[in-house]
Chain A
Amino acid sequence: MTDTMPSNAELEAIRPPRSQWWDVWDQFKTHKGALLGAGFFVLVILAVVAGPFLWHIDPTYIDIRARNQGPSLAHPFGTDQLGRDTFARMLAGGRVSVAVGVTAMLLSLVLGTAVGVLAGYFKRLDGPLMRLTDLFLALPLLPLLLVIIMLFRDTLRAAFGPEGGIFILIVFVIGITSWMQTARIVRGDVLALKEREFVLAARSIGTPPRRMIRRHILPNVLSPIMVSATLGIANAIITESALSFLGLGFPSDFPTWGRLLFDATDYLQQYPERVLWPGLAISLTVLSVNYIGDGLRDALDPRIRGR
């Protein structure tokens, strides 16, 4: 589930029957940045999923005698002020950050696609849904996110446990505040699709709207959805880190990349290298995802493909 973006194209590419995905993959391969980004992103996914099974040090294990150490064989990234292994914490933190990114992206994608398809396909819903999208675009997102998290944190924490509650809250707020761009793009594409002959043909043989959308509309708006999926992951990872960095994300004993960066800034004067690992991890992951999006946009555009 986690590595949908790159491997979807790859998986499709291994089997020859659908030639469209071969073309997409061929075009994708020519974009060096995208290829590199996809490789790095797969590596990050593998590291955070399988890493904790291979690297046996518990990220919460406190070894006070080994605190504030530099990089060594036992601790490749050093240890923090309580002697916890930074490498193990990076792996555990990456797991949360990537999980938040992917789930929040899925939520915003489902919302955005639903709103976009409904608004584009049903004329009656177009006006109200697009006004709603405009209203959401006019909300001050970061302040509102901070306010919502501050106010609802304790209730959800009580209901779903300290980590689960915050996870649900963060995924939910990021998801419901980032669907607007997807909705707009999808609506535009659906409006254009509706004028095409094959839609008219399908309607004239009496296809009901539900099957119309599933069989004819959704497969054809897949490419903008995939591109906005990559942008959505990048956006969600940055937002989650920003919230953790402002001290309003996950609890302090629960590492995420943003939280690790936030904790490291307290020791900026003594151990400046400590901010490097989480910062680099966030930046490179987001950069690679953005490059994948760039490559996908080119690869999925039939006008550019094969040029």
Chain B
Amino acid sequence: MFNYTIRRLALAVPTLLFISLIIFLVVTLAPSDPTANLPLSIPSEVRQQIREALGLGEPVHIRYLLWLEQFFWNEPRHLLEEAFGWNLGAGDEPRILSWQTRSPVVDLILERLPQTLWVVGSAYVVGVLIALPIGIISAYRQYSWFDQLGTFISMIGFSVPTFFTGVLLIVIFSVKLGWFPSIYDTTHKVTDFSSFMFQVRQMVMPVSVLALYNAAQISRFMRASMLDNLNQDYVRTARAKGLTERVVVLIHVLRNSLIPVVTVIALGVPTVFGGAIITEQVFKVNGLGQLLIIAIQGGDVPTVQTLTFIFAVLIVLFNLIADILYGILDPRIRYD
């Protein structure tokens, strides 16, 4: 298992470096000018100085290495110093600054992270909790009306884009019925029961939009995986031993079918962050996705670069987690 983990880790590092290079090159080689938004009265020499002060005079490979050092060495130290009050010698070193707000990008991200985690995280948990029972029942009663309905709903779930379901929910529940607020208020603090209820009410719509989307995909995987296992010989053996149907399905079959589903769930986490960009935009949640959109519209290269790369790190990290989980759950994989 240890060997297997090490092998996976060794594969993750070049992947991450390659992705960082692609992101860096896309952003760097693009013909956009950070001084384009400054007043036209600034003379061109001064513009040139501004560009050089931003580090744009160096050759590309030097800038890439400097960026890597900044991202993997300086910023983590700053983060640790702030979090625990240690002294790691990072105090005076420059940080990755946003061109829009002139504050460190990492601070901006930390400000936005809780909202995204709350909405996206709870949506994913809800989605998984809905998807697993639906998948199990659909497979156990294959071609029943429940299975047909489940298939239809999951088809809708991944055909109807989240920006339409979100807008539709707003039209029905905020505009017509007035049950839920259409804009997510992130300054809201939960202090007592009524403010807690408000928080629940404003989370209902974004969470259900994302949960429907996730549940649609995971329930399909769960169903397929259950169907693969239900016809196996060990299931017949279990039934022949006289085990109750409940034990056969929920213990023997379910545990084996969950192996691929667990990895699918792990692989889905980072894509949810990406997909949440749209949902955040619909419900005006000021999370990471909205930060990315604002930064893109403002031509804020450091923020865009850092955020995109953080999304990439998440993908590689969860790929790694999925691989290792698969290795733990299924011993056959380890000795490949």
B22 touching A279 by the CB < 8 A rule?
no
Interface string of A127-169 (1 = CB under 8 A from B): 0000000110011111110111011101100000000000000
A287 touching B159 by the CB < 8 A rule?
yes
Given A268-B167, A268-B170, A287-B155, answer yes or no on A147-B296 (Cβ-Cβ < 8 Å).
Answer: yes
Query: Does A234 reach chain B (CB closer than 8 Å)?
Result: yes
A228 CB to closest chain B CB, in angstroms? Answer: 15
A151 touching B171 by the CB < 8 A rule?
no
Given A143-B274, A245-B163, A246-B281, answer yes or no on A138-B15 (Cβ-Cβ < 8 Å).
Answer: yes
Contacts of B307 in A (CB 8 A): 143
B163 touching A139 by the CB < 8 A rule?
no
A234 touching B312 by the CB < 8 A rule?
no
Interface string of A71-113 (1 = CB under 8 A from B): 0000000000000000000000000000000000000000000
Query: Does A299 reach chain B (CB closer than 8 Å)?
Result: no
Contacts of A154 in B (CB 8 A): 31-32
Interface centre among A147, A258, A290 (most CB of B within 10 A): A147
Contacts of A234 in B (CB 8 A): 159
Query: Does A24 reach chain B (CB closer than 8 Å)?
Result: no
Residues 161 to 203 of chain B near chain A (Cβ within 8 Å): 161, 163-164, 167-168, 170-171, 175-176, 182
Chain A's closest residue to B182 (CB) is A268
User: What class of interface size applies to chain A in its complex with B?
Assistant: 35 or more
Interface string of A281-299 (1 = CB under 8 A from B): 0110011001100100000
B158 touching A268 by the CB < 8 A rule?
no
Report how far A142 CA is from B296 CA in the complex, Å: 12
Chain B's closest residue to A140 (CB) is B311
Query: Does B308 reach chain A (CB closer than 8 Å)?
Result: yes
Query: Does B234 reach chain A (CB closer than 8 Å)?
Result: no
B19 touching A138 by the CB < 8 A rule?
yes
Chain A's closest residue to B160 (CB) is A283
Interface string of B312-336 (1 = CB under 8 A from A): 1011100100000000000000000
Given A151-B30, A275-B168, answer yes or no on A140-B175 (Cβ-Cβ < 8 Å).
Answer: no
Contacts of B176 in A (CB 8 A): 272
Query: Does B118 reach chain A (CB closer than 8 Å)?
Result: no
Interface of B, helix, strand, loop or mixed by DSSP: helix
Contacts of A241 in B (CB 8 A): 161, 163
Interface of A, helix, strand, loop or mixed by DSSP: helix
Query: Does A7 reach chain B (CB closer than 8 Å)?
Result: no
Interface centre among B160, B175, B275 (most CB of A within 10 A): B160
Chain A's closest residue to B158 (CB) is A290
B167 touching A138 by the CB < 8 A rule?
no
A155 touching B164 by the CB < 8 A rule?
no
Interface string of B10-42 (1 = CB under 8 A from A): 000001001100110011001110000000000
Interface centre among A144, A148, A152 (most CB of B within 10 A): A144
A148 CB to closest chain B CB, in angstroms? Answer: 6
A44 CB to closest chain B CB, in angstroms? Answer: 14
Contacts of B171 in A (CB 8 A): 268, 272, 275-276
Residues 227 to 272 of chain A near chain B (Cβ within 8 Å): 234, 238, 241-242, 245-248, 258, 261, 265, 268-269, 272
Report how far A164 CA is from B244 CA in the complex, Å: 65
B175 touching A283 by the CB < 8 A rule?
no
B159 touching A286 by the CB < 8 A rule?
yes
Contacts of B182 in A (CB 8 A): 268
Contacts of A290 in B (CB 8 A): 155, 158-159
A138 touching B315 by the CB < 8 A rule?
yes
A146 touching B23 by the CB < 8 A rule?
no
Residue of B175, B277, B308 touching A268 (CB-CB under 8 A): B175
The 6 closest A-B pairs by CB, nearest first: A151-B30, A140-B311, A279-B164, A287-B159, A272-B171, A283-B160
Beyond known contacts A135-B19, A286-B160: 9 more, CB 8 A cutoff: A140-B311, A143-B277, A143-B307, A143-B311, A147-B27, A148-B26, A150-B297, A261-B164, A275-B164
